[in-house]
Structure 1
């Protein structure tokens, strides 16, 4: 009995000592929840056989997080530092090979462009030498018998049969191409200060040329630029359009939002025309582009909004593809233009024997409404334009100081010689048209798009 009491007393003493050393811990776990931990030291074990506890678990969690981060940084591969190094080397090799290939492609493109540049420079030098040779060749113009000065307009030989050629006349430079023949002229008195520009009188003077842009490539040596005087949606009234006409596949029409964008060279619209364009005689009117189809006398009305052909018609008896061009050539047989009275065509025919014919056209159907035959030959002048129903012709396309030498009034069916100074600033003017929208002349002079201010007299 005494032994039993002794054992019970010892158990209680040990239990009380254990309670004195017991500890209650409270804290948040990794998820933020409150966790209670009650620890009682073992009376028999000096140490635990395995390590554990919240601190160890926290360390394990942190190590796991570090492993995940390292795995993400190395692309998901847990192959260790050596695997990561091998992958880096492989990626570097791939990048190096890619850059080397691109460099080789650029080098090849550079060499190709250098070869093209050398070829163009050789061609330009050959053309320059040929031009100089032809300019130095005497023209040998004959005067009519019985007088020291011509009694009528001097004309150069008509270049018949040129339509069979398969080459562009832009590259065909012959002796006749540089014959700049001048008509007998009559002096026009200078206007006094009382005269005003009333808008539809006779042309009195043409201002100095103002350059707006130079074409970027050889395709822009000749071309046409224009503005619609009665623009139709979706294009605004400030829209400027341009066609480069060098080459055998001319069909791109470039549009610029305004003159500033043209100067900067940033087209906002590029249209691909369904039929090839012949020369520099195109014009714009009431939302349509009017142009001559290549190697034919067909006129085309191309609707800009629908980007489709709205009308097509042959111009009766008109010469085409080099039969009756202007003196500079370029297959300029049919020249379309717009003025205050509508749409016009300037051309010639075998019946007119090379003399300029003026026809007023219906802008919708392209039918000829009325025609006039003048007494000046088309290939004796370099270009022409129409203002207020009056045709004006320019004597030379290369002379820096030439004249507007002839005027024909469709209202009176009468023509007369005039002498209005005109400048070819860049000495190769391949297009001159009246721009009704700005009441100026637009011209294409040896890669350059230029404009001229105009002064008109009183309406008679």
Structure 2
């Protein structure tokens, strides 16, 4: 379930669906850009949506519309210039072939019935152009492009005036020319979508229940560092007194319970705060504050390290207990571990960890009690904490390691099976993996992105 984005809504807009294909994440006021997920087969669920164009005749107004389309082309070139100033490319938007086929079908339907709803479709086109207005505040973040943005605003105003004039006396346009311009604009917009920085959590949707199995407590995960073709799933039932890890080649095999391999770890684990990262399993060794790195490829322990002062074995667990004192995590920025210490009065400590040596590189002390937290997860260097593991839980608190500051939040999510014992973010899938009372479920996350300039990098 790979994540995508919901981006720009001009003449053509790219609509991205999350775990529910029927749910579209639309732009908010101020033109926020969001991400979403893909389906369990690893396919992008994207739909290119364009206003229905049911006009294909020609008359004197065709020239006006061609001039309008030239302005749209100029706008797309402006967007492309801005795209060149961005650096980070997450490459989450791919495989648009099926969606483009759907767009071609729509235009064929337009050509078959091009006269009956002429006025309606020009009104829709005008409305789509009006939706460009919220783009302006985002573009203003480009510090060195003030003159270009001012020109962009003027282009939008001119386009609105031309559309109003054309609507009064309907003209014709060249269907093939319009279609080619739409395709070129779509290509530029997709390039823009790839130029996004880390985002702030705005919304959690779902869950989708993948499977029901095991005890009330456990963990399951995929590797966020794996290639797009590698969709292996790992499954660790229970929170203690076990060393068995089951591997499945694909999500489909996981659902069908077709085990490809079983690993017998050298040490038992505690809690459910495990993570698979770059082919290795990181977990808390039984009755200790030691983190273990175990290689699935070699079947050997590659590293072990004790977390200084970290409580363990139900000293500072999450609110549900289960020896969940130490929680290993991974996000877009690397490896993390969350725990609590006497020195921090039992409040949560965030540590950034070297993935090879397990050495703690830096720590942040929060003021949120570990025992009062239901679960927590990292996204883009920010720790998000839920206020309960039971029904009614929500993301209540977040702590940014970038600014060393916290804020109280109010992001609800549906605790469908009433008891959450594992909640972990996967940066590749842009989804939350959860173990919910013996159910393995996925939540879709919506992130707010800010496009960076070279001066910000």
Alignment of structure 1 residues 88-167 onto 2, 5 Å:
none
Q: Which residue of 2 is the match for residue 375 of structure 1?
A: 367
Out of 419, 432, 436, which is 1:428 matched to? 419
Q: Does 1:292 align with 2:284?
A: yes
Alignment of structure 1 residues 244-255 onto 2, 5 Å:
244-248=237-241, 250-255=242-247
Q: Structure 1 residue 193: deviation in Å?
A: 7.4
Out of 320, 344, 347, which is 2:336 matched to? 344
Q: Structure 1 residue 245: deviation in Å?
A: 1.7
Q: Over residues 88-122 of structure 1, what are the superposed CA-to-partner deviations in whole Å (9 max), with x where a residue is unaligned?
A: xxxxxxxxxxxxxxxxxxxxxxxxxxxxxxxxxxx
Out of 184, 196, 205, which is 1:207 matched to? 205
- Residue 199 of structure 2 aligns to a residue whose secondary structure is coil
**Cα gap change, 1:352 to 1:393, in 2 (>3 Å):** same
**Cα gap change, 1:319 to 1:383, in 2 (>3 Å):** same
Alignment of structure 1 residues 302-381 onto 2, 5 Å:
302-381=294-373
- Residue 294 of structure 1 aligns to a residue whose secondary structure is coil
Q: Does 1:278 align with 2:270?
A: yes
Unpaired runs of 5+ residues, structure 2, are 1-26, 35-195, 452-457
Q: Which residue of 2 is the match for residue 133 of structure 1?
A: none
Q: Does 1:392 align with 2:384?
A: yes
Q: Does 1:242 align with 2:235?
A: yes
TM-score of the pair, normalised by structure 1: 0.56
Bigger radius of gyration: 1
**Cα gap change, 1:266 to 1:192, in 2 (>3 Å):** farther
Distance 1:199 1:446 in 2: 35
Q: Which residue of 2 is the match for residue 457 of structure 1?
A: 448
Q: Does 1:230 align with 2:225?
A: yes
Larger RCO (CA within 8 A; separation ≥ 6): 2
Q: Which residue of 2 is the match for residue 402 of structure 1?
A: 393
**Cα gap change, 1:192 to 1:259, in 2 (>3 Å):** farther
Q: CA RMSD in A?
A: 1.7
TM-score of the pair, normalised by structure 2: 0.56
Distance 1:236 1:312 in 2: 30
Q: Which residue of 1 is the match for residue 402 of structure 2?
A: 411
- Residue 332 of structure 1 aligns to a residue whose secondary structure is coil
Distance 1:389 1:247 in 2: 29
Following TM superposition, where does structure 1 have runs of at least 4 consecutive aligned residues deviating by more than 4 angstroms? none
Contact kept in structure 2, 1:202 and 1:459, CA below 8 Å: no
Distance 1:361 1:236 in 2: 27
Contact kept in structure 2, 1:227 and 1:437, CA below 8 Å: no
- Residue 261 of structure 1 aligns to a residue whose secondary structure is helix
Contact kept in structure 1, 2:377 and 2:423, CA below 8 Å: yes
Contact kept in structure 2, 1:230 and 1:237, CA below 8 Å: no
Q: Which residue of 1 is the match for residue 438 of structure 2?
A: 447
